[in-house]
Structure 1
């Protein structure tokens, strides 16, 4: 059993101070000799942080002769190779195959390893299993990602890569496989109807984006996927899963010469094709858009947000800092302080930005008791109004930046994470050394940078608000929101709303944080 001496010892060790200066060990020597034997082990804890410091991976830009951007990070710790092929072929491309054909990218990802003309699904699975390889494909809003993890031994690596290329080039997307996906989505549809948070998320995107390609759920709808044919899936593959619509990321136990050869093998053996065209510009709101989903429950769910900006916007890193301060940093965030700590309205409230090829979104959400619904929305909205209108707290901003810097090594603490970062860097045209220069970029961000960014990009006067609850008084809420706005945020005319940045830069960007994809598909 611990006694007070043990707690004093542990506390002093954690603080990095000498335990012997504060603790009298005489009472321990007769009764608990095992404590003395443990002291050297406890003292060794002081060295753990120093021993486990992660160094930033060195990222090399490979000179791929097929003009396919290829990034490589050598890692000698494991005899493994991680490969990520990131195509500009996410769910935003669905309707480029046929109008209303939502869910085609997602279905292509699910069915791509279900068979070719010469190999069945079992043949493909066994081919990867024989060499201990892991193959997967996933569709997101912007990206279609194919991953392969395999031993670096050429006897394992080469057949795994060969099978991956056969799957990408020759998938047949058979009708029987499509029917299996259709039957599975019937279960997913019922799960959505029983999940207020998932219904809320789907409604939010539809309300926010209207007719834009980002509006529909990534897996499509029951009605849209029932129209998808094998021929349309093959057309999607032939148009988008091609070499010139791709970037390659490689991490593992290879040298740069071997990595270049591998990247050229992949780029040279895929259909060459063309780059996908730029996405359309979503339409900005001019006022509040409040929508209600009736759901019988004592809990109400709320999501508020607006169009954000692109990955290419130079304000992106300042907005990342702003988001951490407002709702992204747990109990220290403004939202948590206002809604939970001060008033106990919710267990948790969080905000986030999604930065995409076309303008992404800014949103924050929480759940609360039905009888606290209107008050909680008023408080959350007022918190955003104040955050935009009042000067940034410089001390809190510095603490936020320090926390972001401490957390940044989590982005490259494994080969898989490193490779995901390379995929994101390549896809969004960031500089190859982004991971190395991130600390300097973050350090340069000032309170004025953050203030300017939020006043330019956050608009409390034209939020989209989704409420999932049993009872809801829309008119009462509108009155409360207008009280919050006056007089700082008069409702603008449509002509006064600035356009968001949509065009990717001609040169690599160096001022945006790389994160691997976080779009979670809705099961519909």
Structure 2
């Protein structure tokens, strides 16, 4: 049974990959359930598979200041066992693993900066799908949060943290987050002290943020609206309804008022360099000019402006990149590279100069054409699997994007002009007020005004 289901799932996944480009034209349906949950659906009846993701505003930004990491450990521990309720037996993590293997289905929970996400993937054969949905509903609504397993996992996490701090990349990431975000929750990260403060009761209280009325559910697969509605209703049925009061607002990321340089000594073969500042929120109207512009600046790999100046012309780094990470708040603009410690100061200065010039002058006509050709031509790769299609639908749901977002994406890219990019970058980036973190290497020169 397990082997035949696994083969069926593998064949279905392959078929999804081959057929995915056609999905972009499929319409998105949206409705709200009586319990307040909102549902987004893309019907894809050709393949016997369904993917579901349910998101709640219960990510890292909701962590208490002294218990950073609570969202992540709550998500992880919610999968470690089920309580005995309503005449159904308790299940430990091994029994749960066997139950999911028997179904040939998959269930997951994770927490990011903004949201906690529950996911289910199953074949849509009626008996299998019903059993998978019922088991997932138990996992969502009846997690055991076993104390012994938390003590085990906490010890493992602390050991992993200690090991990670022996790597320059971890030290650079943490210093960069603190410098860019300040006291905003986006800048918090789990520490040994924070994990030692977190209790199972803290997890149970935090988990109450997941209420049906706050759910944003995304469904992709071989189900119709009625079936999708029933799946979501069942998945949410064991969560406590609560009073569904609005959640407390989270302050915005403060803008940087001055440059900051942080050179951290570290015995490493390579110096790790991060440069950046708060960027923009996902609902910003400059999204597409910034998306296209960043591809030209540093998101296009070896064909980017940064790669040309830092790697090709001067040989300062094998790879250099930049990206924006927009969320419900202004996620960071990040420029990163690794270089020989004795070249770190030069690499920093060249990178700063490239950003400064790009913000002031914008892209060339040739860069614009190359970027648009690549992004429009590669759009199908953003939808070439069921998982990617679900990711896109979940982002549409989470950020309140228009239902025709996927159908108009290429048009939005095509209409971006060089002037749009120059204006957008001038509004969002201040090259003379950026954070620079170097772990290993020589002292960084102050930012030139």
1:303 has 2:269 as partner: no
Cα-to-partner distance string for 1:303-336 (whole Å, 9 max, x where unaligned): 0000001011101111111110100001211100
Secondary structure, aligned partner of 1:297:
coil
CA pair 163-363 structure 1, distance change in 2 beyond 3 A: same
Q: Is the 8 A contact 1:245 1:276 kept in 2?
A: no
Secondary structure, aligned partner of 2:377:
helix
**Structure 2 counterpart of 1:104:** 70
- For normalisation by structure 1, the TM-score amounts to 0.78
Alignment of 1:21-36 (within 5 A): none
1:265 has 2:234 as partner: yes
User: What is the aligned counterpart of 1:414 among 385, 388, 411?
Assistant: 385
**Structure 1 counterpart of 2:176:** 204
CA pair 424-336 structure 1, distance change in 2 beyond 3 A: same
**Structure 2 counterpart of 1:456:** 427
User: What is the aligned counterpart of 1:159 among 126, 131, 150?
Assistant: 131
Tell me, which stretches of 5 or more residues in structure 2 are unaligned? 1-17, 85-89
1:186 Cα shift? 2.9
**Structure 2 counterpart of 1:230:** 200
**Structure ID, larger Rg:** 1
Aligned positions, number: 423
1:126 has 2:92 as partner: no
User: What is the aligned counterpart of 1:400 among 371, 391, 397?
Assistant: 371
Q: Is the 8 A contact 1:54 1:413 kept in 2?
A: no
Cα distance in 1 for residues equivalent to 2:271 and 2:438: 7
Tell me, which stretches of 5 or more residues in structure 1 are unaligned? 1-49, 486-524
**Structure 2 counterpart of 1:277:** 248
**Structure 2 counterpart of 1:434:** 405
1:267 Cα shift? 4.1
1:414 Cα shift? 1.3
Alignment of 1:69-148 (within 5 A): 69-95=38-64, 99-118=65-84, 119-121=90-92, 122-148=94-120
1:171 has 2:137 as partner: no
Cα distance in 2 for residues equivalent to 1:385 and 1:172: 53
User: What is the aligned counterpart of 1:444 among 391, 408, 415?
Assistant: 415
**Structure 1 counterpart of 2:6:** none
**Structure 2 counterpart of 1:68:** 37
Cα distance in 2 for residues equivalent to 1:451 and 1:126: 55
CA pair 326-391 structure 1, distance change in 2 beyond 3 A: closer
Alignment of 1:351-370 (within 5 A): 351-370=322-341
RMSD, matched Cα: 1.8
Cα-to-partner distance string for 1:236-261 (whole Å, 9 max, x where unaligned): 111x1111222101111112222223
1:277 Cα shift? 3.2
Cα distance in 2 for residues equivalent to 1:438 and 1:428: 15
Alignment of 1:438-517 (within 5 A): 438-469=409-440, 471-474=441-444, 477-478=445-446, 481-482=447-448, 485=449
Cα distance in 2 for residues equivalent to 1:52 and 1:140: 26
Which shows bigger deviation, 161-170 or 86-95?
A: 161-170
CA pair 263-117 structure 1, distance change in 2 beyond 3 A: closer
1:262 Cα shift? 2.1
Q: Is the 8 A contact 2:154 2:195 kept in 1?
A: yes
1:420 Cα shift? 1.4
Q: Is the 8 A contact 1:84 1:147 kept in 2?
A: yes
Secondary structure, aligned partner of 2:50:
strand
- For normalisation by structure 2, the TM-score amounts to 0.90
Q: Is the 8 A contact 2:142 2:238 kept in 1?
A: no
